[in-house]
Amino acid sequence: MRQEFKGIGASRGTALGRARVRLPHALDIEEVHIDESQVEAEIAKMHDAITHVRSEMDALRGRLTGALVKEMGEFLDLHALILDDPELIESLDKLIRTRLIVADYALKLQRDKVTQIFSAMDDTYLRARVDDIDLVLSRILAALHRQTAKVDAKVGEILVAENVAPSELQELVDQGVIAIVTVMGSMLSHTAILARSMNLPLVVGAVGVLKTLNDGDTIVCDGGTGLVVVEPDAADLRAHRERDKAYLAEQKQLDRLRRVPTVTTDGVEVLLYANAESNADVTKARRLGATGIGLYRTEFLFLQSLELPTEEEQFRAYRDVVLGMAGRPVTIRTLDIGADKADRTGLALRNEPNPALGLRGVRLSMMRSGLLETQLRALLRASGYGPVRILVPMVSSREEVVQVKREIERLSTMLREEGHAVAAQIPLGAMIEVPAAAIALSTFIKLVDFVSIGTNDLVQYILAVDRNNEAIGNLFTPLHPAVLKLMHQVIRLAQKHGRKVSVCGEMAGDSTFTFLLLSLGLREFSLHPTTLLEIRQKIRTANIASLEEHGKRLLRATSTAGIERWMNQYGGMEINPA
């Protein structure tokens, strides 16, 4: 019988195949108590399972070859760090001792605690890291019962599972898996990132699918829309063939755009930068012809260990990104972390009542002794290997820009005296994601060389809507008159003073908003590499003169509904002067 599930499209592509169902190791773990005399044996059982998982991961690493050593090795390193976290092991031991419970239930309680902490995080990317912890705990749970996560799939099958580790993907593809559907996960998880780089269709968040499917059921899944259909009918099969045909044609067309300029029909050049957080992103950005890196996130360096990364560790990471882009500019954002995101390093305040309005971004960097200096020294040293731009997050006042600028000048002089090569000119930029920075931009625009609009936070702060709160999720929209007018104001002010301006939030990588952003005057986009060619294609159909003329009407809109009407009329179609 036909059934339909709606998940989240995490890696584009469509697939038709038989389902290979992998049930969770334990859907419901009961609270089972033990006697005090059994505690040490239960703890030893837990430690034995952890040791077993370490051996599994070492064996997997040994089987990696070629490019997979680099890409999947990074994920395995992260999972190994989680596995070796003394805080995790101590917490599990303590739960077994104090609660007198079995190891399985201790794992469940620890997982619930971690999920609660990560779910409260403001940053979507960092919130998605709970998947990595979940996958490690699932491996330990499987080892406790000596279960195996091996699928033994057949060619042409679609794996349906609770979650999938990034390190499993290549083995699954080698076995013939053509797509993956998961109940958990997010489009920003490591699994999703790697699936996109492998062009493997992936749907996440397909709630309820495991309760329905059986091995061998025929399913259709669309990694673009997130639609999953069980036992498709004739109409579904026709639709799948059309989507598959259109997708293949689109990919062939996009491949031709790798080396063509990003120029509109009336000859206006638009610069496409890439957002990046891994070496794989940097490699892909260069291969697809990105102008440079418009946003390199440094948070991951600070989340990999209990210890803060040293100047030398940061320098090597930043230098490698610069070398990877081979002369194209690399914009590296200073640490944008705070609240419960950095508890393991001891950087942030604990139990902040409102993390989104608390000690984060540049505020944290300037308050914690030596933190900003160490990172700036590493960035300045990396500038000797290629063009580096420094981007400061969560700016809210002129004073913050002045302080960072003085530090850069002081440290540049110091490093040159120490014999390090430091670029003569290192552009400094400010993230415009706090309304105060947008409104007061005129007070510090001459102190910076460029600005980058972070639409994710800007929308949240302008509308006073928590983007992670499902109860008011319908209120979170960039298509609000106040949002567009403030963005337009920032873009025009920056251009008036000869400063470059880009958008690096989710809007930049969504082709739905491409014409809207162009009509506001934007000429630089910074987006995830996976959408770069799609945005390039969209821009090459645009006519700037027509868009700016129609944009006057957009800025006169008095409601979200009015902006949506503009989008329906002008935002998704080719606009030419004729």
Positions marked catalytic: 190, 504
β-strand partners of 28: none
Query: How far apart (Å, rounded) are the C-alpha atoms in residues 434 and 451?
Result: 12
Q: What angle do CA 122, 127, 132 make, to 5 degrees?
A: 165
Per-residue CA distances from 160 to 172, 183, 195, 228, 384 (Å): 12, 8, 15, 11, 48
CA quadruple 124, 104, 145, 181: dihedral positive or negative? negative
> Quick check: 151 and 20 in contact, CB under 8 A?
yes
With contact defined as beta carbons under 8 Å apart, do 376 and 319 qualify? no
What angle do the packed helices 311-324 and 279-287 form, to 10 degrees? Answer: 20
Tell me which DSSP letter residue 166 carries. G
Q: Counting Cβ atoms within 10 Å, is residue 66 exposed (0-12), middle (13-18) or buried (19+)? A: exposed
Whether the CB-CB separation of 173 and 15 falls below 8 Å is answered with no
Cβ within 8 Å of residue 466, ≥6 positions away = 356, 460, 472, 476
Q: DSSP for 146-159, please give it.
A: T--------TTEEE
Structure tokens at 294: 């418009």
Helix or strand (DSSP H, E) at 429 = strand 428-432
Nearest to 395 by CA among 465, 351, 345, 444: 444
418-428: buried (b, 16+ CB within 10 Å) or exposed (e) per residue? eeeebeeebbb
Which residues neighbour 125 within 8 Å (Cβ) at sequence distance 6 or greater?
Answer: 188, 277, 297, 299
Supply φ then ψ for residue 136, to 5 degrees. Answer: -65, -45
Report how far residue 442's alpha carbon sits from residue 451's, in angstroms, rounded to the nearest whole number: 12
- The sheet with strand 202-204 has its strands ordered as 3-6, 227-230, 218-222, 14-22, 157-161, 179-182, 202-204, 8-11
Say which residue the tokens 């794989």 belong to: 280
Distance CA 487, CA 56 (A): 50
Whether the CB-CB separation of 283 and 530 falls below 8 Å is answered with no
Instruction: Tell me whether strands 8-11 and 202-204 are parallel, antiparallel or unpaired.
Output: antiparallel
